Amino acid sequence: MARPVAFISGAAQGIGAAISLGFANAGYDLAVSSTKKDKLADVIASCTAAGARTVPVELNVTSQASIEAGFATAIAAFGQLDVLVNNAAITMPRMAVDVTREDWSGIMDTNLTGTFFMCQQMGRHLIGGKRPGTIISITSTHGVLGFALRSTYGISKAGVMHMTRMLAIEWAEHQIRVNSIAPGTVLTASRKEYADKTPGYLEKMVERIPLKRTCTPEEIAGAAVYLASPSGSYITGQTLLLDGGLTSY
């Protein structure tokens, strides 16, 4: 029996790398993408060691031609795709009064527009092949709560959450489930490196979180695998908040 296939964007490090390995451990083969293929060596090695056939894809989600070429590469390698995880995103801390049109376009083109057209390409693939499938987009609690310096990023992520609902309704008849995951503060390697150099940073971060700790990339991976699994087969149009209770206040 053929292994299911997941396509992960923004897979080179952090959350994307953890999600890729999570799907590899769950029995999936993988197409993993980044803006540069050479950034994918480590995640390919870890997923291959876990038993997954892993294909690198060079992908820039701000380019329609790149999206179409990326899907063509992944489909040529495996014949079909079953799961898409939209993780590619950028952030740009700015006070709202300082945001330029270039700043705005940079965030929106990647986080919102890029995510939509990745979903569209996956939808076309699944509908055209009359196959069920799952789409999962990584959003953020910044799309639910207000934060200084994150207005543009938060607006983009709120847009992805509503996109999730709209596509879930439109594609339900095709048995395509569309969900998103909104993490709170995630202790990635880069954030840990920053925290180690900044006394009191983590303490300040966890002070407002009811569980008094940050989220791990592996916990996000576990949630993504769950949403794609038979155990999550009745879930669509939802945003799963992985925030330690932050949005429960």
Distances from the Cα of 82 to the Cαs of 9, 97, 164, in angstroms?
A: 14, 42, 17
Q: What is the pLDDT of residues 14-57, one digit of tens each?
A: 999 999 999 999 999 999 999 999 999 999 999 999 999 999 99
State which residues form the domain around 113.
5-248
What CATH number is given to the structural domain containing 158? 3.40.50.720
Residues 6+ away with beta carbon under 8 Å from 74: 5, 7, 31, 55, 57, 81
User: Which pair of tokens denotes residue 236?
Assistant: 């669509």
Residues 6+ away with beta carbon under 8 Å from 145: 154, 246, 247
Q: What is the pLDDT of residues 93-109, one digit of tens each?
A: 999 999 999 999 999 99
Neighbours of 77 (CB within 10 A): 17
Q: What is the pLDDT of residue 249?
A: 86
Q: In total, how many domains does the chain have?
A: 1
Q: CA triplet 192, 141, 172: central angle to 5 degrees? A: 125
Distances from the Cα of 112 to the Cαs of 5, 57, 160, 191, in angstroms?
A: 24, 20, 6, 24
Q: What is the pLDDT of residue 211?
A: 97
Q: What is the DSSP string of 6-47?
A: EEESS-SSHHHHHHHHHHHHTT-EEEEEESSGGGGHHHHHHH
Q: What is the pLDDT of residue 189?
A: 87
> Minimal CA–CA distance to 115: which of 167, 43, 53?
167
Residues of the chain with pLDDT under 50: none
Residue pointed to by tokens 């945001």: 99
Catalytic residue, from 28, 153, 234, 249: name it.
153
Q: What is the pLDDT of residue 183?
A: 97
User: Which pair of tokens denotes residue 201?
Assistant: 């940073």
Q: What is the pLDDT of residue 19?
A: 98
Q: What is the DSSP string of 124-180?
A: HHHHHTT--EEEEEE--GGGTS--TTBHHHHHHHHHHHHHHHHHHHHHGGGTEEEEE
Question: Is 153 one of the catalytic residues?
Answer: yes
